[in-house]
Structure formats: structure tokens, C-alpha cells
């Protein structure tokens, strides 16, 4: 009973500490793994003794295996084949040839500096082949890298994990039974073939099932996918051992590149689950490492890590990316970024235990060196990645400008005023006529379906500070805003809505993922007709009232369709689209479109709300 109590408390403390560390790391803008390793040691047997991984028994390795499966599926879910194809040469060579070169370089470093034997050195080399997608992901978001560099690093991190894991298992089998090398090589081909086949088939079936709307009860899709991922992992491993890790990765890529009805919810669920599991695993794995084992490595251990960062990685990248069209600066940055993460830690612990069971020495020191490598590479990449990216010029410039979905009506009025304030504007639209009119007005226009990723890529949304969904279809506006946020990190989204109570758009506004555009819901098609007939006038109004008092009198909703509050300029800052919840203060300027037949009534209603015609601007009746 006491052991069971230790097991339960260890899991609970590890889960709680993992979530706490990652939340704290985000506030401190530090790599989460740094705090996870620190707290893992603090809570482990060398510290407070609250987390004792070995009390879990065989369950410890089951937790590690299943958690890694879910983490790799989530990472693969976010890989886009369209982007991978453009950089396929660099990615393929980094993952395949790079794995062999890294293994050889790391093995030579351990052999020459630490004086380890050939077997232990090669095992170490196989364990540090992988990079950490869970570490690289936050780093890419923070550094805001140019798309091609980000794609290469993200793809390498996700795809090399199953390759490295299978490679490590192969090397271990050969080390344990050298006379079975031929059998080990056959096993490698079986693992790759089985993992690939099961991954493709299961990914295809899973994506097809998710597209059948009536198959699963509403809200059960995410747990269904989670169960399916674990089933795929166990099924593949039961057929050919250690093939499951490749199977779930390929299944993730397959599902991630297939449209499903639950695409957005699925990604959010998997992202949150991954954060939970990464925290749990790193706390458990770090607690299982003894400080005395790491300290015993001393200066030579640090020297091995330095060689990996400063010699092995740069040489490997130079060789493998030579045939690609990556620039010298891009190759230099890729050479600088190779943090090891959860897969290296998990496989190292499994290999160390397997070596103990096989009666081989050096398992503890091998695991200690891997954890020292994880710590060193994470600190180096996390603390210097952004600075190096800016120095080499591979990061994106500061976000600025507005991308507008819908090149007609009120969108044109809004864009003209934003452009007049020297702010870049781009339109996205699938209507050839409105696109042509916007181009004739001097705007950049992207023609195509703005809900497709390739169209969003052509618009280069990663450069824009905000997006505006301004079509009569509020669901289209909401999906556009969500994809801009999820795929390109656009944090500020405005969407035109017809109802504040129902629909996807209203849900986004309630969840504070988007702002409801203009002063209130408006009939956009009616305003389009008015603009085509020349029945709309515009003008700037200055706010000189009390927002709360004005709201008590009905606020902007009381204005009806007499006018639309389009944009706001507050405190002399940039002109931005106006949203429902804007809190105007005395002196703010608001750009307004008015129905020509109701200008006097609209002006009077605006004055009641506290908006007075700005004398510095032309009278709207003279516009």
C-alpha cells in the first residue's frame, strides 16, 4: 500500500508541478524545460523526495511510452505538406543523412573526450540525434522566424523523433547482442515499413471517420481521437516492437492535412494535452536522474555538449543543406538551433534501464550526459535564439498592417482611411470584379479562397498585426480570423457579425479570440448597395462625452443603420478598426460612414452619444 501511495502522490505532484512550471515559464519568457528540469530535481529523491518515479514500477515506462505517442501525434498534426514540399530537399537530408552524421559526431566526442567505450559512445550518439519539437515550437513563436526557416526547423524536430527513437533501439539491440546485427538491420526495415503502413492507413481512416458528422456524439470527437492515437501506438508496437512511434507520427501528418469538421477543436485539445504530458514527463524523468551522476561528468561532460553545439551541428547542417537553396544566413541559424527535448529524455531513461537489465555498465552516466545535453542545448537555443535570428536577419520584421477579407463596401472605406494613416493594407477576395476595383484603387489584393491555407500563405499574414473579416457571412469571417490566428499567429482579429448571441463568430467574441467589428451588428449588404449608388458620406467625429453615460442611453446600437462607426484614432496613435467594446475617452477621433439621406439625423444621434463633428475634418455633407 505504501508503494501505491508513493506512486499516486508522485503522479499528482509531477502533474501539478509540470503545469505550474510551464505557466511560470511563459510569464518569465523562459524555455519551459529549464524550469521543468529544475523542479524535477527539486521534487525528486535528491531534493524533497515528493516525486519517486521508480515507485510507479512498470507503469513508469507505460506512462512514458503513451505520453510520447500523444506528443508526437500533436506535433505531426501541425505539419503542412504544402510547406514541407517547398523545403523537402533540406528537410529530407537533415532528417536522414543528418541523423547518421550527428550520431557519428556525438559518438566521437564522447569517445575522445570522456574516454567511453565504443558501444556506450555510439549509444549516446543515437540518443542525441533527435531535436525537440516541444522546445522548438515556442522558440519559433517567440523569434518570429521567416516561414521557410521555421518550416525546416519544425519539420526536422517532428520527423526526426521517430527516426532517432528507432535508431536508438537498433543500436541498443546491436550493443546487447552484437552477433544479431543482421537481425537488427532486418528489424529496422520492419519497424519503418510497419510504422509507415499503419500510420498511413490509420490516419486516413481516422480523418474519414471525423468527417462523418453523425458518427460521434457532439463533443466526443477529441476523446475519440485520443483513444485512437493510443490504439494505433499499441497496435503497431504489438505487431513490430518500437514501430508505434513512427505510426502515430505519420498518422498525425495524415490527419493534420485532411479537412475535418473538428479541426480547430482537435488542435486546441491536443495542444493543451501535450502541455500537460510534457510537464508530467519532464518532472518524472528529471527526478529519476541523480545529481551525483551528472556532477561526475564534470568538465569533460560540458565539453562534449559544447562540441555538439559548436562543431557537430554546424558541420552536419553545412553538409546536409548544401544541395538546398537555403541562404547562408538561414543555414547558419539552423546550425545554431538544435535543442534536445522530451523524446531524447524518454528514450535515454528506457535505454539506461535496458542496459542495467542486460548487465551492461554505463547506463546511468549515459542518461546523465543526455540530460546534461538537453539542459545545455535548451539554454543555448532558448536564451540566444531570438537574438541570433535578428542578427542574421532571418526573423520577420515587426508586425504591422491590416489584412481585410472582402474588397467591397465598408471594407474599401475602412481600408482607404487606414492607408491614409500610412498603415499597410491588403485585401483577400474571391470575386474578380471587386478584386479588380480594389487594385484600381491602388491596394494589394490576393485573389482566392481566403479559407484555404495556400491563399493565406500568399497573403503573408505572418507580417500583419491584425485581420478583418468583413463579408456578409459571419461564419466565413470567424473561420478566417481563427485560421489567421492558428496558422500565422495573428493575435488581433476583427469580425463583422450579424448576431451577438449565436454562431461561431459570436462564440469567438465571447471567448475573447476576436473583436466584434464596428459599433454594432450592421446589414453589410444594405451598405454595399448604398455605396454603389453613391448614397454614403464619411467624416471624422471627435468624442467629447462620458462613455458610460452614453451607453445608458442606448449607446451606438441606438444609431441603427443611419451610420456605421468604422475606425478609431485614440491619443494620436495609429488608426485601427473600431470594435463593439471600444472604450472611447475624451479627444478620441472616430471615422464614420453616414447614410446620405439621414445625415442630419445621424449627426444628431452621434452628438447625443458624445461624438461631435471634427472641425478639422471636412463636413460629411460636403464630402
Query: 3-class secondary structure for 172-196?
Result: HHHHHCHHHHHHHHHHHHHHHHHHH
Residues 248-279 pLDDT 10s:
888 888 887 776 655 556 666 666 777 788 88
Residues present in the chain in total: 623
Tell me the pLDDT of the chain averaged across its residues: 81
* 3-state SS, one letter per residue, for 608-622: HHCEEECCCCCCHHH
Residues 88-127 pLDDT 10s:
788 888 888 888 999 999 999 999 998 888 888 988 998 8
Give CA–CA dist 321/522, Å, rounded.
Answer: 53
Q: Three cell numbers at 256?
A: 493534420
Looking at the predicted structure, is the pLDDT value of residue 32 above 80? Answer: no
Looking at the predicted structure, is the pLDDT value of residue 306 above 90? Answer: yes
Q: Three cell numbers at 463?
A: 507580417
What residue ranges do the domains of the chain occupy?
A: 2-392, 397-517, 532-623
Residues 75-91 pLDDT 10s:
777 777 766 777 778 88
Give CA–CA dist 495/473, Å, rounded.
Answer: 10
Residues 469-500 pLDDT 10s:
888 888 888 888 888 887 788 888 888 887 66
Band of residue 619 on the pLDDT scale cut at 50, 70, 90: very low
Looking at the predicted structure, is the pLDDT value of residue 237 above 90? Answer: no
Fold of 532-623: Alpha-Beta Plaits (3.30.70)
Looking at the predicted structure, is the pLDDT value of residue 506 above 70? Answer: no
516 DSSP assignment: E
Residues 547-583 pLDDT 10s:
554 444 445 555 778 888 888 888 667 788 888 777 7
| 169-194 mean pLDDT | 70
* Backbone torsion region of residue 522, taken as left when φ is above 0, otherwise alpha when ψ lies between -120 and 50, otherwise beta: beta
| 143-160 mean pLDDT | 82
Strand 575-577: give its sheet, edge to edge: 575-577, 563-569, 589-595, 536-543, 611-613
Lowest mean pLDDT among 5-19, 101-115, 508-522: 508-522
Which candidate, 466, 484, 478, places its Cα nearest to that of 577?
466
pLDDT at residue number 311: 94
Please state the φ and ψ torsions of residue 463, each to the nearest 5 degrees.
-90, -10
* CATH class belonging to 2-392: mainly alpha
Give CA–CA dist 568/519, Å, rounded.
Answer: 11
Please state which architecture CATH assigns to domain 397-517: 3-Layer(aba) Sandwich (3.40)
DSSP assignment string, 230-272: HHHHHHHHHHSTT-HHHHHHHHHHHHHTS--TTHHHHHHHHHH
What Rg do the C-alpha atoms of the chain give, in angstroms?
Answer: 28
pLDDT at residue number 211: 78
How many C-beta neighbours within 10 Å does residue 89 have?
14
119 Cβ partners below 8 Å, 6+ apart?
175, 360
Percent of the chain with pLDDT over 90: 8
pTM: 0.70
| 11-23 mean pLDDT | 86
| 424-447 mean pLDDT | 88
| Same fold yes or no, 397-517 and 532-623 | no
Looking at the predicted structure, is the pLDDT value of residue 434 above 90? Answer: no
| 242-253 mean pLDDT | 85
> Are 610 and 589 within 8 A, CB to CB?
no
Amino acid at each position: 500500500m505504501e508503494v501505491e501511495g508513493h506512486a499516486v502522490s508522485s503522479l499528482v505532484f509531477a502533474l501539478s508541478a509540470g503545469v505550474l512550471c510551464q505557466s511560470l515559464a511563459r510569464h518569465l519568457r523562459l524555455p519551459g524545460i529549464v524550469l521543468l528540469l529544475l523542479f524535477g530535481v527539486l521534487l525528486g529523491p535528491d531534493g524533497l523526495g515528493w516525486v519517486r518515479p521508480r515507485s510507479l514500477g512498470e507503469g513508469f515506462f507505460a506512462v512514458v511510452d503513451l505520453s510520447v505517442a500523444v506528443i508526437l501525434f500533436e506535433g505531426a498534426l501541425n505539419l503542412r505538406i504544402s510547406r514541407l514540399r517547398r523545403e523537402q530537399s533540406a528537410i529530407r537530408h537533415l532528417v536522414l543523412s543528418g541523423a547518421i552524421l550527428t550520431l557519428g559526431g556525438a559518438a566521437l566526442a564522447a569517445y575522445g573526450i570522456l574516454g567511453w567505450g565504443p558501444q556506450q559512445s555510439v549509444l549516446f550518439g543515437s540518443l542525441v540525434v533527435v531535436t525537440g519539437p516541444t522546445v522548438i515550437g515556442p522558440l519559433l513563436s517567440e523569434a518570429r522566424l521567416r516561414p521557410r526557416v521555421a518550416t525546416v526547423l519544425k519539420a526536422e524536430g517532428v520527423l526526426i523523433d521517430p527516426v532517432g527513437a528507432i535508431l536508438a533501439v537498433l543500436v541498443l539491440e546491436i550493443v546487447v547482442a552484437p552477433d544479431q546485427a543482421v537481425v537488427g538491420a532486418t528489424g529496422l526495415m520492419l519497424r519503418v515499413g510497419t510504422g509507415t503502413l499503419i500510420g498511413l492507413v490509420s490516419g486516413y481512416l481516422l480523418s474519414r471517420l471525423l468527417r462523418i458528422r453523425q458518427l460521434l456524439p457532439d463533443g466526443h470527437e477529441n476523446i475519440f481521437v485520443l483513444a485512437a492515437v493510443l490504439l494505433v501506438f499499441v497496435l503497431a508496437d504489438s505487431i513490430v516492437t518500437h514501430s508505434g512511434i513512427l505510426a502515430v507520427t505519420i498518422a498525425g501528418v495524415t490527419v493534420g492535412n485532411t479537412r475535418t469538421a473538428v479541426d480547430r477543436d482537435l488542435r486546441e485539445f491536443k495542444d493543451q494535452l501535450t502541455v500537460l504530458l510534457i510537464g508530467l514527463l519532464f518532472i518524472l524523468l528529471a527526478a529519476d536522474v541523480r545529481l551525483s551522476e551528472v556532477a561526475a561528468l564534470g568538465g569533460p561532460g560540458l565539453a562534449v555538449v559544447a562540441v555538439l553545439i559548436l562543431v557537430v551541428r554546424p558541420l552536419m547542417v553545412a553538409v546536409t543543406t548544401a544541395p538546398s537553396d537555403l541562404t547562408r544566413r538561414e543555414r547558419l541559424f539552423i546550425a545554431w538551433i538544435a535543442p534536445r527535448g522530451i523524446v531524447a529524455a524518454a528514450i535515454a531513461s528506457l535505454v539506461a534501464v535496458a542496459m542495467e537489465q542486460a548487465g551492461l555498465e554505463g547506463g546511468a552516466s549515459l542518461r546523465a550526459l543526455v540530460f546534461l545535453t538537453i539542459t545545455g542545448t535548451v539554454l543555448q537555443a532558448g536564451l540566444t535564439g531570438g537574438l541570433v535570428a535578428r542578427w542574421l536577419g532571418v526573423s520577420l520584421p515587426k508586425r504591422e498592417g491590416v489584412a481585410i477579407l472582402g474588397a467591397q463596401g465598408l471594407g474599401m472605406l475602412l481600408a482607404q482611411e487606414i492607408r491614409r494613416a500610412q498603415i499597410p493594407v491588403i485585401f483577400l477576395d474571391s470575386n474578380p470584379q471587386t478584386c479588380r476595383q480594389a487594385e484600381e484603387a491602388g491596394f494589394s489584393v490576393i485573389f482566392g479562397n481566403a479559407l484555404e491555407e495556400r491563399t493565406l500563405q500568399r497573403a503573408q499574414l505572418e507580417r500583419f498585426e491584425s485581420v478583418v473579416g468583413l463579408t456578409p457571412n459571419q461564419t466565413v469571417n470567424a473561420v478566417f480570423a481563427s485560421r489567421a490566428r492558428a496558422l500565422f499567429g495573428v493575435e488581433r482579429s476583427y469580425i463583422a457579425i450579424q448576431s451577438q448571441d449565436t454562431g461561431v463568430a459570436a462564440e469567438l467574441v465571447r471567448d475573447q479570440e476576436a473583436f466584434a467589428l464596428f459599433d454594432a451588428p450592421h446589414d453589410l449588404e444594405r451598405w454595399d448597395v448604398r455605396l454603389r449608388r453613391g448614397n454614403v458620406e464619411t467624416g471624422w467625429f471627435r468624442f467629447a462625452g462620458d462613455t458610460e453615460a452614453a451607453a445608458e442611453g442606448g449607446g451606438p446600437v441606438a444609431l441603427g443603420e443611419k451610420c456605421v462607426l468604422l475606425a478609431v484614432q485614440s491619443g494620436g496613435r495609429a488608426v485601427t478598426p473600431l470594435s463593439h467594446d471600444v472604450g472611447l475617452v475624451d479627444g478620441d477621433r472616430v471615422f464614420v460612414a453616414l447614410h446620405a439621406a439621414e445625415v442630419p439625423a445621424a449627426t444628431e444621434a452621434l452628438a447625443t452619444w458624445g461624438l461631435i463633428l471634427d472641425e478639422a475634418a471636412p463636413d460629411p455633407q460636403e464630402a
